[in-house]
Amino acid sequence: LDYQHVQVPFEITLWIMLASLAKIGFHLYNKLPSVVPESCLLIFVGLIMGGIIYGLNDKSPPVMDSDIFFLYLLPPIVLDAGYFMPSRPFFENIGTILLYAVVGTIWNVFGIGFSLYGICQVKAFRLQDVSLLHNLLFGSLIAAVDPVAVLAVFEEIHVNEKLHILVFGESLLNDAVTVVLYKLFRSFCEMPAIKSVDVFVGVGKFFVVGLGGVLVGLTFGLTAAFTTRFTKDIRVIEPLFVFLYSYLSYLTAEMFHLSGIVAIIACAMGMKRYVEANISLKSHTTVKYFMKMWSSVSDTLIFIFLGVSTIGENHEWNWPYICFTVIFCLVWRALGVLVLTFFVNRFHVNTITSKDQFIIAYGGLRGAICFSLVFLLPDFHRKKLFIAATTVVILFTVFIQGMTIRPLVDLLAVKRERESAPTVGEQIHIRFLDHLLAGIEDISGHWGQYYWKDKLEYFNSKYLQKILLREYDQPKSSIVLLYEKLERKHAIELAEAGQLGHAPSHPSLLNNNRTAITDKKLEDTLNPDVLENIQEILARNLYRIRRTGPAYNRHTLPGEAEPVEHAKEILILRHKSL
Amino acid sequence: LDYQHVQVPFEITLWIMLASLAKIGFHLYNKLPSVVPESCLLIFVGLIMGGIIYGLNDKSPPVMDSDIFFLYLLPPIVLDAGYFMPSRPFFENIGTILLYAVVGTIWNVFGIGFSLYGICQVKAFRLQDVSLLHNLLFGSLIAAVDPVAVLAVFEEIHVNEKLHILVFGESLLNDAVTVVLYKLFRSFCEMPAIKSVDVFVGVGKFFVVGLGGVLVGLTFGLTAAFTTRFTKDIRVIEPLFVFLYSYLSYLTAEMFHLSGIVAIIACAMGMKRYVEANISLKSHTTVKYFMKMWSSVSDTLIFIFLGVSTIGENHEWNWPYICFTVIFCLVWRALGVLVLTFFVNRFHVNTITSKDQFIIAYGGLRGAICFSLVFLLPDFHRKKLFIAATTVVILFTVFIQGMTIRPLVDLLAVKRERESAPTVGEQIHIRFLDHLLAGIEDISGHWGQYYWKDKLEYFNSKYLQKILLREYDQPKSSIVLLYEKLERKHAIELAEAGQLGHAPSHPSLLNNNRTAITDKKLEDTLNPDVLENIQEILARNLYRIRRTGPAYNRHTLPGEAEPVEHAKEILILRHKSL
């Protein structure tokens, strides 16, 4: 027997196997996952495993290594989140998300930090030796909402899309703030004296860390898209590039102390549409499947490790400090959401209801990121107290909040996610409205989101697509792609039912067309000629509203206006409106 | 900049990226891969990389770590080979393959070892200090044909299926022999005196190592199949089990000093048909794609590392020894193939032609396995000589033989692989003949391969399928599965061409049916009713020939014979024929 030789891969494989089998086990009994979130069950499995290891060895089980967490377990989850991020609601609410992620997190960090410092002044608690800086450092790691925990719970309760993207987007983007504040306070703790210059440098860092992450991510994302232009003869390694470039973007960002999470999200969102157009259908299935599989396993491992690491003797149970931490986390988050939403609602027509606000505040779950950060703290005499407080906060939010949020959503009758995907008709309407709004913004000289979206679309089709896509002369609109997907799915269904021969033939279709076309049956009843018409209308006309925009303008005849003149006109219009 | 922190994953990712980009680069120019095999190009890239590293650092570049090779790079390639192994030709030629792999390898080891010892006795070469045992040890590592190198070259030249499976099967199965001989001679080298008992123990080990590997592999394979019974609700982690269980089988076998390669092949071949039936179509696409991708990357990395490791100062250039090693490798292999094939041809109707024999002998490429084994040798004063000889043999076989084998195959007009897959009609014929032969063997009391195949099929459908398959009551024959696959492919093609509405409808089909059905167009013109008939004939009747076998028997009426009596009868018949 030569166990030493194969130990490392053998144990890794066994852990992954345990995680996968645990997942199968939960799903065998359908009742359990509908009451208790999977994350709770996994932590529970981890607690039992930890207890067994502790009982057998009589020493603390190994804690989750922060390096393993940040380098190997976190990236797949974030990549999956970024790749499948619904970009429309994300960009529609980007302002609100950034407000929550940046201002909200800073608010929480300082709120929790200062209040805990206040608690430390109470002599009865024997906590006077915990300095303000240490409390702020602790606040910076405990304030951040965790994307892994949020995703695990919110994927199961199916709230409406806007609410979901607000909580989830915040949990992803607050990484930049957390990284900066955590590193800032940690370096302050080690400095003899703090100059006011350092504080200003710290504030400047927010932008560097966040925007730097976006830049690194986009660079790698576009390089990935460019690379997949040349994989036509060697389809089998196509999926690899998606993973390699995203991972490189994460590692590069971490290397330069930028936000890796922001980088990998920017990379995934940047490359997605080009990569999808370049790679084959099977490669794309593999990419999607493997991403889901990988993130699902990482997620499972993280929660099991969280459970395992909880057992042991790493904790200092000063209950007043721990209880007040939990209370302050809840209170400051609730206050923050209330105040920020008040401002958000003043500037938006589509306001955030008070029910939604409650769910946003209540959905602020903490998870493995806090846990890893607290173990990364430099050694000082109260580290074990911070570890204990972090553990309790995580268990409290995941177990109590995670288990009660579903009944609360039912009780409050929070608007749920719509059951079905939007129909083709709806998609055409949405697209049409976008272009209409872009036209309106253009005429009125208002530089709103539709204006910028339109500009970006123009830049994309004029330059980016030509560089990044293999067959750039035939850009297919998403509706045509959707139609093709439906058509393919339908064909497979027909083939599997053995009814390919029975498929409605050409003449019978035309008769049906005259009577009634319901949106849902569009793919069944649309004949290719009609389809081609729609395709042409969509691809040729709808897409170029902005480019043929001057037709809507009061001052020019169609085709006269040059882009420069056009910009001038907008300036003049804008000037007039002011 | 914090490079230390991300170094390990960053460098691994960069190496994989380099490998993938090199692969893309070669395929951009279509002419190059058609002349030079990819493996040569990759070694060349490695040599350049090694040269650059050597030039910059002024010290030998890092050699390929044997642990990394055996634990991480080799398993994906072998898994891929085992999973996609064409089982029919493999089992039809299993006897010949085993003869080549076991007897042939032993022949080569001792032939090369003893002849090199003879060379060492020539005083002019100054090699008298290399003992017989060391020469045999060297022979045991240099004799083994390498699956990675063989696959890389033979995949490109497309010789006929039988020839391919003979060379490739040998290269896979000789692992058991190589492992045993290598470890035996290495332990002999360290022993003060060798007893005759040790030699007998060594011979016994062949069976333990080989059969133990098969046992470990099958155990994990069937467990994997059993596990996928329960993944219906959680499709996304299905592909994981295929990889996890195969890898565990490899590691477990290595842990017990059994043959990991044999184990992973047995695991892959054992689980394949059950796993395919249990998991979803998309999961299966992911499994296939990822396996190909992974093995392709591993393969690329191995050849690049081979090139990199060649550069440096690890070599002792004693040219007589090196040249004679190359010559003996060629001569003993050629002799071995001639002698063994002579015996094989005496017992087979379908003989191996002399052209095929030449290609078998010439296709005995050496590769990364020898290279890793030579670095694993215990330190002794002539290790660098062995490294140099191994390097030259690998480069000679991969470059000279690898590049000339394609022109030679053309020149000799070796029978090539058939261009198209067998048609449905041919498959029905083959299946029918199998059952016919099983019946003939049964009646004549001959226990041949068809008899055993039939027994195994019976055991499979009676017991294994019930345990391992989720829906065991509907076993689909492979022809029905093939039909479904063709049907699905056809439907997708129709959908993509936008002609779903134009698909021939029911009545027109029936007319076509009367005139002429060509095999190739079977999937186009067969209507569902006719298909159902064929399905029923195949699934109900053809499959049970053996079970309703007594109907063909001279001594019983249909349905009378019990399995026990049946076995008795065969014994009686067999006795008579003797």
Dist CA A370 CA A353 (whole Å): 30
Nearest Cα of chain B lies from the Cα of A114 at a distance, in angstroms, of 32
Identity of the residue in A6, A255, A527 whose CB atom sits nearest the CB atom of B71: A6
pLDDT recorded at residue A115 = 93
Establish if A17 belongs to a structural domain: no
Q: Which domain covers residue A453, as residue numbers?
A: 427-482
B24 → chain A, closest CA residue: A231
From B499, B535, B416, select the one nearest A504 (Cα to Cα): B499
Q: Mind listing the pLDDT tens digit for each residue in B156-168?
A: 888 888 888 999 9
Nearest Cα of chain B lies from the Cα of A485 at a distance, in angstroms, of 9
Taking the CA atoms of A87, A93, A95 and A101 in sequence, report the sign of the dihedral they define.
negative
Interface A:B, Cβ pairs < 8 A: 204
In chain A, residues with a C-beta closer than 8 Å to the C-beta of B490 are: 495, 500
**Rounded percentage of chain B residues whose pLDDT exceeds 90:** 18
Dist CA A498 CA B523 (whole Å): 11
Identity of the residue in A9, A71, A286 whose CB atom sits nearest the CB atom of B289: A286
For residues B28, B33, B36, B41, the Cα torsion angle rounded to the nearest 10 degrees is: 50
Residues B451 and B509: beta-carbon distance below 8 Å: no
Q: Are residues B407 and B360 both part of a single domain?
A: yes
- Check pLDDT > 50 for residue B506: no
Nearest Cα of chain A lies from the Cα of B271 at a distance, in angstroms, of 17
Write out the two tokens for B362: 């010439």
Identity of the residue in B13, B30, B490 whose CB atom sits nearest the CB atom of A248: B13
Establish if B522 belongs to a structural domain: no
Of A482, A508, A529, the last residue of a domain is: A482
Establish if A558 belongs to a structural domain: no
Query: Residue with structure tokens 């990484």?
Result: A175
Write out the two tokens for B168: 């490739």
In chain B, residues with a C-beta closer than 8 Å to the C-beta of A297 are: 237, 240
Nearest Cα of chain A lies from the Cα of B245 at a distance, in angstroms, of 9
* CATH number where B257 lies: 1.20.1530
For residues A194 and B538, the model is more confident at: A194
pLDDT recorded at residue B500 = 57
Identity of the residue in A24, A233, A244 whose CB atom sits nearest the CB atom of B231: A24
Q: Are residues A215 and A74 both part of a single domain?
A: yes
> Which residues lie below 8 Å from residue B444, measured CB to CB, with a gap of 6+?
B573, B577
Of B412, B446, B467, the last residue of a domain is: B412
Establish if B134 belongs to a structural domain: yes
In three-state secondary structure terms, B310 is helix
Query: Residue with structure tokens 């936008």?
Result: B498
Identity of the residue in B20, B244, B492 whose CB atom sits nearest the CB atom of A17: B244
Helix, strand, coil percentages, rounded to 5, for chain B: 80, 0, 20
Q: Are residues A408 and A461 both part of a single domain?
A: no
- Check pLDDT > 80 for residue B260: yes
- Check pLDDT > 90 for residue B1: no
pLDDT recorded at residue A409 = 87
Interchain proximity A492–B492, CB inside 8 Å:
yes
Interchain proximity A496–B509, CB inside 8 Å:
no
pLDDT recorded at residue A564 = 53
- Check pLDDT > 50 for residue B568: yes
Count of structural domains, chain B: 2
* DSSP secondary structure, A97-117, as one string: HHIIIIIIHHHHHHHHHHHHH
From A44, A20, A78, select the one nearest A295 (Cα to Cα): A78
Residues A328 and A112: beta-carbon distance below 8 Å: yes
Interchain proximity A498–B528, CB inside 8 Å:
yes
Of A412, A445, A472, the last residue of a domain is: A412
Q: Are residues B305 and B401 both part of a single domain?
A: yes
pLDDT recorded at residue A374 = 87
Q: Are residues A305 and A454 both part of a single domain?
A: no
Identity of the residue in A289, A487, A495 whose CB atom sits nearest the CB atom of B488: A495
| Beta partners for residue B159, in sequence order | B416
Q: Mind listing the pLDDT tens digit for each residue in B120-179?
A: 888 888 888 888 888 999 999 998 888 888 888 888 888 888 888 999 999 988 888 888
Interchain proximity B293–A240, CB inside 8 Å:
yes
A1 → chain B, closest CA residue: B256
A67 → chain B, closest CA residue: B5
Nearest Cα of chain A lies from the Cα of B402 at a distance, in angstroms, of 21
Q: Are residues A138 and A260 both part of a single domain?
A: yes
Report the predicted TM-score, pTM, of the whole model to 2 decimal places: 0.78
pLDDT grade for B502, boundaries at 50, 70 and 90? very low
Nearest Cα of chain A lies from the Cα of B248 at a distance, in angstroms, of 7
Nearest Cα of chain B lies from the Cα of A503 at a distance, in angstroms, of 7
If phi over 0 gives left and psi between -120 and 50 gives alpha, with beta otherwise, what is residue B445?
A: left
pLDDT grade for B577, boundaries at 50, 70 and 90? low
Establish if A380 belongs to a structural domain: yes
Q: Are residues B219 and B339 both part of a single domain?
A: yes
In chain A, residues with a C-beta closer than 8 Å to the C-beta of B240 are: 16, 20, 293, 297
Q: Identify from A500, A509, A510, A535 which residue to disrupt to test chain B contact, counting B C-beta atoms within 10 A and taking the largest count.
A: A500
> Which residues lie below 8 Å from residue B304, measured CB to CB, with a gap of 6+?
B15, B18, B19, B22, B42, B43, B45, B46, B49
Expressed in angstroms, the distance from the first to the final Cα of chain B is: 83
In chain B, residues with a C-beta closer than 8 Å to the C-beta of A509 are: 501
Q: Are residues A215 and A245 both part of a single domain?
A: yes
- Check pLDDT > 50 for residue B520: no
Buried b (16+ CB within 10 A) or exposed e, A226-235: bbbbebbeeb
Nearest Cα of chain A lies from the Cα of B31 at a distance, in angstroms, of 13
In chain A, residues with a C-beta closer than 8 Å to the C-beta of B21 are: 227
pLDDT recorded at residue B57 = 78
Interchain proximity A296–B71, CB inside 8 Å:
no
Establish if B41 belongs to a structural domain: no
Q: Are residues A347 and A448 both part of a single domain?
A: no
Mean pLDDT comparison of A110-119, A190-199, B284-293, B409-418, highest-scoring range:
A110-119
CA geometry: angle B38, B307, B63, nearest 5 deg: 140
Identity of the residue in B8, B27, B230 whose CB atom sits nearest the CB atom of A28: B230
Interchain proximity A484–B496, CB inside 8 Å:
yes
Identity of the residue in A71, A239, A527 whose CB atom sits nearest the CB atom of B6: A71
Q: Are residues A386 and A442 both part of a single domain?
A: no
In chain B, residues with a C-beta closer than 8 Å to the C-beta of A24 are: 227, 230-231, 234, 237
Interchain proximity A13–B244, CB inside 8 Å:
yes
pLDDT recorded at residue B332 = 93
Interchain proximity B240–A20, CB inside 8 Å:
yes
Region of poorest pLDDT, from B101-115, B186-200, B339-353: B186-200
In chain A, residues with a C-beta closer than 8 Å to the C-beta of B233 are: 27-28, 30
Identity of the residue in A13, A292, A501 whose CB atom sits nearest the CB atom of B527: A501
pLDDT recorded at residue A497 = 67
pLDDT recorded at residue B559 = 43
Ordered per-residue pLDDT tens for chain A, 578 residues: 778 888 889 988 998 998 888 888 888 776 777 778 888 888 888 888 888 888 887 776 676 778 888 899 989 989 998 898 888 888 888 889 999 998 999 999 999 999 999 988 888 888 888 888 889 999 998 988 888 888 888 888 888 888 889 999 999 888 888 888 888 888 888 777 777 777 788 778 888 888 999 999 999 999 999 998 888 878 888 889 999 999 999 999 989 988 899 999 999 999 988 888 888 888 888 898 889 888 888 888 888 888 888 887 778 888 889 999 999 999 999 999 999 999 888 887 778 888 889 999 998 899 888 888 888 888 888 888 998 999 999 999 988 998 888 888 888 887 777 666 666 677 778 778 877 877 777 777 777 777 777 788 888 877 888 777 777 545 555 566 666 777 777 777 776 666 555 444 443 333 444 333 344 444 444 455 555 555 555 554 443 333 333 333 344 444 444 455 555 555 565 566 55
Nearest Cα of chain B lies from the Cα of A316 at a distance, in angstroms, of 30
> Which residues lie below 8 Å from residue B158, measured CB to CB, with a gap of 6+?
B416, B417
Q: What is the ipTM of this complex?
A: 0.76
Buried b (16+ CB within 10 A) or exposed e, B390-415: bbbbbbbbbbebbeebbebbeeeebe
For residues B491 and A370, the model is more confident at: A370
Establish if B398 belongs to a structural domain: yes
Interchain proximity A492–B491, CB inside 8 Å:
yes
Establish if B284 belongs to a structural domain: yes
A33 → chain B, closest CA residue: B233
Identity of the residue in A1, A10, A236 whose CB atom sits nearest the CB atom of B296: A236
Residues A408 and A359: beta-carbon distance below 8 Å: yes
Q: Are residues B403 and B442 both part of a single domain?
A: no
* Extended strands (E) in B337-467: none
Q: Are residues B432 and B408 both part of a single domain?
A: no
